[in-house]
């Protein structure tokens, strides 16, 4: 028999013994009156023997999971862990009764107990609960990794035999949360960040809405979708890659400011900044432009940083980031000029290709038809690596997106002329915030010219036929909505997981998602 089964078998036997003694190992409730953090932080040492004696009648009830047991014959110490921390429990045989004490000795690390008793400080100085009674609340039959915590004389904590196998931690997050102290803190911060973003948006009159996850057409981003099937309708459906096109329909419908936190699904590679399902918040604001979105974006992130960390500054790895507003704003063309000396407005398409080639920069030959896509590629390969502190990169070639308005400075004649000249690049009012070299989001002055919108989306279909995998299929219903008329609008998509990574100093996106996708065993 394997060790694992043997450990479980022994615990099942103990479970039976407990039942035979008339004790329900899975009772229905327990009155909890306090928690470890409150008890320890509010404890004052009694000033006299009388006070010490009277304290014994001031009982509290706490509940938690047994994390460590130290049996000493007729007395036993254990630590229980509740939602706020750990507290030591002291149980004496002659006080609690022989049977009760014997049952206690059947308990294991991992069991959940409720303890009623009074507070005292041990000889070695730890505030503890002196048990008057206790109750088994849940018997655990699956052994937990035993992690030992040593406190050195200088007060430093050393963790021994940490449950550190990354794979097991992700696959069995419930165990990770129990035995690894800081894991829960990351997820508490995650929730605080999300709550903060919602507060900031609500404060600015944005209205929370919900749109479909299952979509018969996907769009709003460049990505490959997951395909699924609806049986009753007998049609294939896609898990959304973005909610952009639905939020715009709501702007058309008369909601002026909407936002939605969504899980997006993208059928692409997995690495430390990419999980196949990830969280994004998108917001759309009628009558605003991309500068309004920059203002909102930096307000949202600065506030989220303050609400989760107390300041606008945060340390990520060995760098310090400061999210204090206002953030730097840099045109893509200026970023390229600063970095490479290339003035993309002046030079020919071929000169960009030559530059890429002579500098050993790989690019997909499929994009060589488009000066705009070459520029975007040039930017990503040369400038991104320097974008550590928060910065808005703005004015992207229009070829990079079919959903964004051209710059306001162009006259209709200029646009027409540029469109027919492959050496001219139309720039669009798009920006991406960068932090720590990562794209943190995406924003446009949204395109609302239905004729141009149709033309650009049909262009996507063309490019899809030519072999690009991440282009949009044509969404006629969306085009109809734009034809009905969308007011001038700006919208933002923001990657929540990456923001949480930065604000919690997490190395991998899997550290900020409770249950990241793992290959089934």
Piece of 209-217, 218-226, 245-253, 391-399 that binds RNA (CB under 7 A): 218-226
3-class SS string, 120-132: EECCCCCEEEEEE
Place of tokens 């997106």: 401
Torsion of CA 128, 131, 137, 140, to 10 degrees: 60
The nearest distance, CB 225 to RNA, in angstroms, is: 11
Of 216, 70, 204, 257, nearest to 146 by C-alpha is: 70
Q: How far is CA 262 from CA 101, 212, 278, 284, 496, in A?
A: 52, 9, 8, 14, 10
C-beta of residue 201 within 8 angstroms of C-beta of residue 300: yes
Residues between 221 and 260 that touch RNA (CB under 7 A)? 221-223
| Residue 509 CB, nearest approach to RNA (Å) | 6
Which region, judged by CB under 7 A, interacts with RNA, from 111-119, 402-410, 417-425, 507-515? 507-515
* Residue 85 is a binding residue for RNA (CB under 7 A): no
Least gap, CB of 89 to RNA (angstroms): 10
Residue appearing with tokens 């009388």: 50
* Least gap, CB of 462 to RNA (angstroms): 18
Q: With binding defined as CB under 7 A, does residue 188 bind RNA?
A: no
Report the SS3 class of residue 260: strand
Among 57, 124, 154, 182, binds RNA (CB under 7 A): 124
Contact yes or no for 89/80 (Cβ under 8 A): yes
Considering only residues 338 through 377, tell me which ones interact with RNA, judged by CB under 7 A.
362, 364
Element (H, E) at 313: strand 313-316
Which parts of 432-461 interact with RNA (CB under 7 A)? 438-442
Indicate the residue among 252 and 394 with the shorter CB distance to RNA. Answer: 394
# residues near RNA by CB under 7 A: 82
The C-alpha R_g of the chain, in whole angstroms, comes to 30
x/- map, 56-75, RNA, by CB under 7 A = ------------xxxxxxxx
Residue 209 makes contact with RNA by CB under 7 A: no
| SS3 assignment, position 316 | strand
Which of residues 51, 53, 102, 161 is near RNA by CB under 7 A?
161
Cα–Cα distance measured from residue 170 to residue 172, given in angstroms and rounded to the nearest whole number: 6
Which residues, 6 or more positions from 253, have their beta carbon under 8 angstroms from its beta carbon? none
If binding is defined by CB under 7 A, does position 148 make contact with RNA? yes
Query: Contact with RNA (CB under 7 A): which of 17, 55, 93, 424?
Result: 93
155 near RNA, judged by CB under 7 A: no
* Residue 153 near RNA by CB under 7 A: no
Min dist CB 17 to RNA, Å, is: 10
Distance (Å, rounded) from C-alpha 449 to C-alpha 412?
Answer: 13
Q: List residues bridging with 490 in a β-sheet.
A: 285, 445
**Smallest gap, in angstroms, from Cβ of residue 282 to RNA?**
11
Residues 10-39 that bind RNA (CB under 7 A): 10, 14
Q: Which stretch of DSSP H or E encloses residue 321?
A: strand 319-322
Beta bridge partners of 332: none
**Least distance to RNA from the beta carbon of 301, Å?**
14
Q: How far is the CB of 426 from RNA (least distance, A)?
A: 19
The least CB distance from residue 262 to RNA, in Å, is: 12
CA proximity to 240, closest of 217, 208, 206: 217
Nearer to RNA, 385 or 421 (CB): 385
Single out the residue of 274, 345, 348, 455 in contact with RNA (rule: CB under 7 A): 274
Among 443, 495, 500, 506, binds RNA (CB under 7 A): 495
**479 close to 132: Cβ distance less than 8 angstroms:** no
């Amino acid at each position: 028999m394997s060790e694992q089964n043997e450990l479980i078998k022994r615990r099942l036997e103990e479970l039976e013994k407990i039942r035979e003694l008339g004790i329900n190992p899975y009772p229905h409730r327990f009155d909890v009156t306090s928690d470890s953090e409150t008890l320890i932080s509010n404890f004052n040492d009694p000033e006299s023997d009388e006070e010490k004696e009277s304290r014994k009648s001031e009982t509290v009830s706490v509940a938690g999971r047994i994390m460590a047991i130290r049996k000493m014959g007729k007395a036993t110490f254990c630590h229980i862990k509740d939602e706020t921390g750990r507290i030591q429990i002291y149980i004496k045989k002659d006080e609690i009764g022989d049977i009760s004490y014997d049952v206690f000795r059947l308990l294991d690390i991992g069991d959940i107990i409720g303890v009623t008793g009074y507070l005292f400080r041990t000889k070695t100085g730890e505030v503890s609960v002196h048990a008057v009674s206790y109750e088994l609340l849940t018997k655990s039959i699956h052994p937990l990794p035993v992690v030992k915590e040593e406190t050195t004389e200088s007060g430093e904590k050393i963790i021994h035999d940490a449950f550190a196998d990354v794979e097991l931690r992700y696959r069995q997050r419930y165990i990770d949360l129990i035995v690894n102290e800081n894991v829960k803190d990351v997820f508490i911060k995650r929730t605080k960040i999300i709550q903060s973003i919602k507060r900031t948006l609500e404060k600015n009159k944005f209205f929370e809405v919900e749109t479909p996850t299952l979509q018969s057409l996907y769009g709003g981003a460049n990505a490959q979708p997951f395909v699924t099937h609806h049986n009753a309708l007998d049609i294939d459906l896609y898990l959304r890659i973005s909610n952009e096109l639905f939020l715009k329909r709501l702007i058309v419908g008369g909601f002026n400011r909407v936002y939605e936190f969504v899980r997006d699904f993208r059928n692409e590679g997995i690495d430390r900044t990419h999980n196949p399902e990830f969280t994004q918040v998108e917001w759309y604001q009628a009558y605003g432009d991309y500068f309004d979105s920059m203002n909102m974006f930096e307000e949202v992130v600065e506030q989220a940083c303050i609400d989760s960390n107390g300041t606008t500054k945060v340390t990520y790895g060995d760098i310090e980031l400061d999210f204090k507003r206002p953030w730097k704003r840099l045109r893509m063309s200026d970023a390229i000029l600063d970095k490479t000396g290339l003035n993309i407005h002046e030079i020919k398409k071929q000169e960009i290709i030559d530059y890429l080639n002579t500098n050993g920069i790989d690019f997909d030959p499929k994009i060589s038809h488009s000066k705009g896509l070459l520029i975007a590629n040039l930017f990503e390969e040369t400038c991104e690596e320097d974008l550590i502190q928060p910065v808005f990169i703005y004015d992207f070639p229009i070829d990079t997106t079919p959903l964004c308005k051209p710059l306001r400075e162009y006259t209709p004649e200029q646009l027409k002329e540029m469109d027919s000249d492959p050496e001219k690049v139309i720039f669009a009012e798009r920006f991406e915030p960068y932090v720590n070299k990562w794209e943190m989001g995406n924003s446009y002055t949204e395109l609302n010219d239905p004729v141009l919108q149709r033309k650009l989306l049909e262009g996507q279909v063309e490019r899809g036929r030519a072999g690009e995998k991440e282009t949009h299929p044509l969404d006629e219903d969306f085009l109809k909505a734009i034809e009905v008329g969308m007011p001038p609008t700006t919208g933002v998509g923001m990657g929540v997981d990456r923001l949480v990574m930065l604000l919690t100093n997490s190395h991998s996106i899997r550290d900020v998602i409770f249950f990241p996708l793992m290959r089934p065993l």
